[in-house]
Structure 1
Amino acid sequence: MAKAIMLQGTSSHVGKSILTTALCRIFKQDGQKVTPFKAQNMALNSYVTKTGGEMGRAQVAQAEAAGLDPTVEMNPVLLKPTGNSCSQVIVMGKPVGNMSAKEYHAGYSLKALGVVTECIQKLHQDFDTIVIEGAGSPAEVNLKDNDIVNMRVAKLAGAPVLLIADIDRGGALASIVGTLELLDPDERALIKGLIINKFRGDITLLKPALDFLEVKTGKPVIGVVPHLDRLGIDDEDSVSLEDKEQPEKVSELDIAVLRLPKISNFTDFDALANESDVQVRYVRQGEAIGKPDLIILPGSKNTTEDLLYLRHNGYEQELIKLAKSGTPLVGICGGYQMLGREVQDPEHTESDLDKVMGLGLIDSITIFEANKVTHQVKAAACNHKFLGINYSGHNLAGYEIHMGRTQFLSPVDAAFTIVTRSGKSVQLTDGAISADGLVMGTYIHGIFDNDTYRRAVLDALRVRKGLAPLGVIKDTQALKDAAYNRLADVVRQGLDMDLIYRIMNENNGR
């Protein structure tokens, strides 16, 4: 049986995901065969495994930190909000339907408990150490009866719990004391330590508060972790997107991403933002797109609703005007579907509407079907015509997550050729590039994570602007691995790892 530790929080967005990532890397550095686990995740940022299963992006980062390929056993239940208090429910990587919050929590969640239990048992067999992430707060009394992600999981896994509070938002002491007070006695006993996260300032000034917490709660403070900026690690949800909204630098290239209400997989643009000559800014409702060097329409969990958002907020005409006046435009997945003439939804997989008119910048229609396409892919480009770069490259890695199938009404130049799908050899065209080379759509998420392709696009934008190409190719994976090590170093300094090991060895969660 593996040793386990679980991280729960006094609320959402206190840093559970990032501290789980840190512990995965720390345990890996210490020679442990470690895996992350989160029973149920709610997020619009998702990923496709090698076997074609869909899972939450945070567990992917945690798996990378642990030196593993992500598998759906690490996140057996994924909820992807679709709107109107509804989510698409994905179990073991495959969608089982759309459900309202009431339908899920009152009727379905406990049915998924058997799958969660099986995954925990498998991870116990296959690994030395399991780092488990909770969700929200364990003290949400209205949800406890049907909980499959917090205390019930701690009991199933035999995992002692560390409770995390975010001191940056204020009220950390009260949130810890209040959370413990709302727990049942047996749940309170599972919590073996407290972590103060996102601290700024002189830690000596915090010492009286830490002493108070230990006396008041009878729980040791495991440590204080400083506020960490620009980690270079994939984000999980739209809450973390708020941190990206305002540009932190003025750069030579300005890339505008439309901040759609149902934006998904915005990690597609992190590699662009990490380039020294690029500013990626997210255009929120009411803000002007301006005159960027490149516009990106991102993925969406609800293409029809987000198309209507563009129309009703004046962005549709602004996008068409900018594209026709020469501003390059890229659409990825849902954004690609929006570029066509029409999006049809005869089975009402996304909304009650049968069809919605698109932007008409690519001569295509997209028809939604119930079956979801989820694959890791490798793609090739031959004399790729976007921006006139004539780029040729092989083994471009990415992944597909979409329910629509796009059909062309007239011949177009494909953007890429998919050569492997879920490990199987194929020859499938993907996406489209307009005749003038300034509008491109693709279903491939993560296309800008490919280092040579990303720099080819950026250098083409530089030349269009009268700037010399940089030609400097960053190794995205090496930078990400270095970020995991930096994170582990900081968290190791902030936490009493010897105490964490003792807590795990005692296995008081049993």
Structure 2
Amino acid sequence: MTAKVLMVQGTSSSAGKSLLVAALCRIFAQEGYRVAPFKAQNMALNSFVTRDGLEIGRAQAVQAHAAGIEPTVDMNPILLKPEADSRSQVVVLGRPKTKLESRDYNRRRDDLWQVVIESLARLRGQFDLVVIEGAGSPAEPNLKTGDIVNMRVARHAQAPVLLIGDIDRGGVFASLVGTLELLEPDERNLLKGIIINKFRGDLALLRPGLDFLEARCGVPVVGVVPYLRDLRIAEEDSVALEQSTADRRLLANVADIAIIRLPHISNFDDFDPLALEPGVRVRYVDSPLDLGEPHAIIIPGSKSTAADLHFLNASGLATAIVARAHQGTAVVGICGGYQMLGLVIRDPDRVESEREVTPGLGLLPVETVFFPEKATYQAQARVVTMRGFLRDLVGQPVNGYEIHMGRTASPEPMLCIVRRGDAQVNEADGATDATGRIFGTYLHGLFDNAHFRKAWLSSLQDHAREVGLSMVEVREQAYNRLAACVRASLNMPLLYRIVGLPL
């Protein structure tokens, strides 16, 4: 049996497509359907490593978890990871294949399209329903010839399309009508419903606008979804960095954590568990002036470590970070941030830059060598160092994942990787200074581990904190809350008719 399909497209980026797909995955899974997400091509800073060590967009992993299934590479066969304003690493079926400038991307379009339709076919053979997410807007004339993610997918699958518009940013009626006007007639025929997202206020006052849309577009409004706060679901785009903590004031007895906003920051959802903790303030900074006097500084992952290390030096942040470290501030490096904390980064094969040797910040006694091969694993490790707060965690497991293209030699590791995927291993990882206040590791997702998070936060403050819910429990609650809100906001009988499923 071939699965039913439903596609969600938007009038723009950040209209809410990813969250709506996650909500629909959870709703239909709650109804007993086997449902899977799909996005042909994703451009994202945050990625996820599947159980078999393949890399996909974080949003599709979130959507799979909302559906109650294990993420697979077919859910996001093409992943673009920006490395510069016009260059991206192209990840195909979970493995990096090449780096392309934007102007050269169309040359690979036909090959990539074949990958897309094969992945979609495999999913449709395994599930009852596939919920497909588009990208950006389907009505970009300059991008239409190279489209492999929006209306070309809808036409290929003959998928009914829901068009979502963000009313919170203003201009939603013009955006929806304008998008429809720019579609070709056969594309408009696939559009079966409109959803207004991020609405605040009295729905009765919006009713005349909804009537206008239905009359002008000839398409029913399936629902109006309210603006949802504090969902606690991982963000994918760098837009989230602009909004995540801007309205939080620094209060007494609050752990102040400054995360360096690198130009090529990646996997910043590593720090969502910290931001969700009571008594913790997480803020992103990109200048020494903004750094202030935090309890801890975190240098996150990077898609271009050498370039971001140059940024730290040029901006004065490198000097400020080292000065704070010498004054006793905790400093943490994750993945690329770990590499930056070391003595030197060597790039003999010019994997990242034309510089063979790049000096690090010198806060950890490690050296990194870049290699062309990319390591991508789900991983389990155990704490092995006796330094600082880590002494109380020795022998305890921590789970996460690895995505990196370098190897770092450490005289005294922080962790021992004991499992990668399904294979048992014995690999050293990470390093600390003599006090344990400064440490680095390749393990993404480290702060998802509640016992590790508690121990580290307690080391920053005088008072210990209770271990809260695990991140799995937090996310399950978030998926259920999201699904309940969207279910209540949509005309569900109409949605079922659009999909072609019995009520």
Fold conserved (TM > 0.5)? Answer: yes
CA distance in 2, matches of 1:393, 1:498: 53
Checking the alignment, whether the CA contact within 8 Å between 2:366 and 2:431 is kept in structure 1 is no
Find out whether 1:430 has 2:426 as its counterpart. Answer: no
Find out whether 1:151 has 2:151 as its counterpart. Answer: yes
Matches within 5 A, 1:63-102: 63-102=64-103
CA distance in 2, matches of 1:176, 1:286: 42
Find out whether 1:453 has 2:455 as its counterpart. Answer: no
CA displacement, residues 287-310 of structure 1 (integer Å, 9 cap, x when unaligned): 421111111000000001110111
Matches within 5 A, 1:97-496: 97-104=98-105, 106-246=106-246, 248=248, 250=251, 252-285=254-287, 287-382=289-384, 384-387=386-389, 389-408=391-410, 411=411, 413-462=412-461, 467-496=462-491
CA distance in 1, matches of 2:446, 2:305: 20
Checking the alignment, whether the CA contact within 8 Å between 2:385 and 2:413 is kept in structure 1 is no
SS of corresponding position for 1:490: helix
Checking the alignment, whether the CA contact within 8 Å between 1:4 and 1:130 is kept in structure 2 is yes
Matches within 5 A, 1:40-79: 40-79=41-80
CA displacement, residues 72-126 of structure 1 (integer Å, 9 cap, x when unaligned): 100000000001400000000000011001111x211221111111111111110
SS of corresponding position for 2:436: coil
Counterpart of 1:460, as a letter, is S
CA displacement, residues 324-377 of structure 1 (integer Å, 9 cap, x when unaligned): 111110000000000011112222222232222110111222111110010110
Number of aligned residue pairs: give it: 499
Say what the alpha-carbon RMSD is for the aligned residues: 1.5
Checking the alignment, whether the CA contact within 8 Å between 2:334 and 2:444 is kept in structure 1 is yes
What 5-or-longer segments of structure 1 have no aligned partner? none
Give the direction of change, closer, same or farther, for the CA distance of 1:393–1:208 in structure 2 (3 Å limit): farther
Give the direction of change, closer, same or farther, for the CA distance of 1:286–1:394 in structure 2 (3 Å limit): closer
CA distance in 2, matches of 1:287, 1:262: 20
Checking the alignment, whether the CA contact within 8 Å between 1:341 and 1:360 is kept in structure 2 is yes
What 5-or-longer segments of structure 2 have no aligned partner? none
Using the TM superposition, name which of 361-370 and 396-405 deviates more: 361-370
Deviation beyond 4 Å, 4+ runs, structure 1: none
SS of corresponding position for 2:348: coil
CA distance in 2, matches of 1:132, 1:478: 26
SS of corresponding position for 2:398: strand
Alpha-carbon offset, residue 252 of structure 1: 1.7
Checking the alignment, whether the CA contact within 8 Å between 2:23 and 2:486 is kept in structure 1 is yes
CA distance in 2, matches of 1:186, 1:212: 23
Alpha-carbon offset, residue 386 of structure 1: 4.1
Checking the alignment, whether the CA contact within 8 Å between 1:247 and 1:280 is kept in structure 2 is no
CA distance in 2, matches of 1:148, 1:214: 29
CA distance in 2, matches of 1:313, 1:20: 39
Using the size of structure 2 for normalisation, the TM-score is 0.97
CA displacement, residues 217-236 of structure 1 (integer Å, 9 cap, x when unaligned): 10000110111122100111
CA displacement, residues 44-95 of structure 1 (integer Å, 9 cap, x when unaligned): 1001111000000000100000001111100000000001400000000000
Alpha-carbon offset, residue 243 of structure 1: 1.6
Checking the alignment, whether the CA contact within 8 Å between 1:286 and 1:313 is kept in structure 2 is yes
Q: Percent identity?
A: 52
Checking the alignment, whether the CA contact within 8 Å between 1:386 and 1:433 is kept in structure 2 is no
Give the direction of change, closer, same or farther, for the CA distance of 1:199–1:383 in structure 2 (3 Å limit): same
Checking the alignment, whether the CA contact within 8 Å between 2:288 and 2:317 is kept in structure 1 is no
CA distance in 2, matches of 1:286, 1:385: 29
Checking the alignment, whether the CA contact within 8 Å between 1:389 and 1:460 is kept in structure 2 is no
Checking the alignment, whether the CA contact within 8 Å between 2:192 and 2:220 is kept in structure 1 is yes
CA distance in 1, matches of 2:285, 2:85: 23
CA distance in 1, matches of 2:328, 2:240: 32
Counterpart of 2:155, as a letter, is K
Give the direction of change, closer, same or farther, for the CA distance of 1:152–1:506 in structure 2 (3 Å limit): farther
Checking the alignment, whether the CA contact within 8 Å between 2:346 and 2:356 is kept in structure 1 is yes
SS of corresponding position for 2:219: coil
SS of corresponding position for 1:390: helix
SS of corresponding position for 1:224: strand
CA displacement, residues 169-205 of structure 1 (integer Å, 9 cap, x when unaligned): 1111011111111111000110001011111111111
CA distance in 1, matches of 2:320, 2:50: 37
SS of corresponding position for 2:233: coil
CA distance in 1, matches of 2:397, 2:422: 12
SS of corresponding position for 1:493: helix
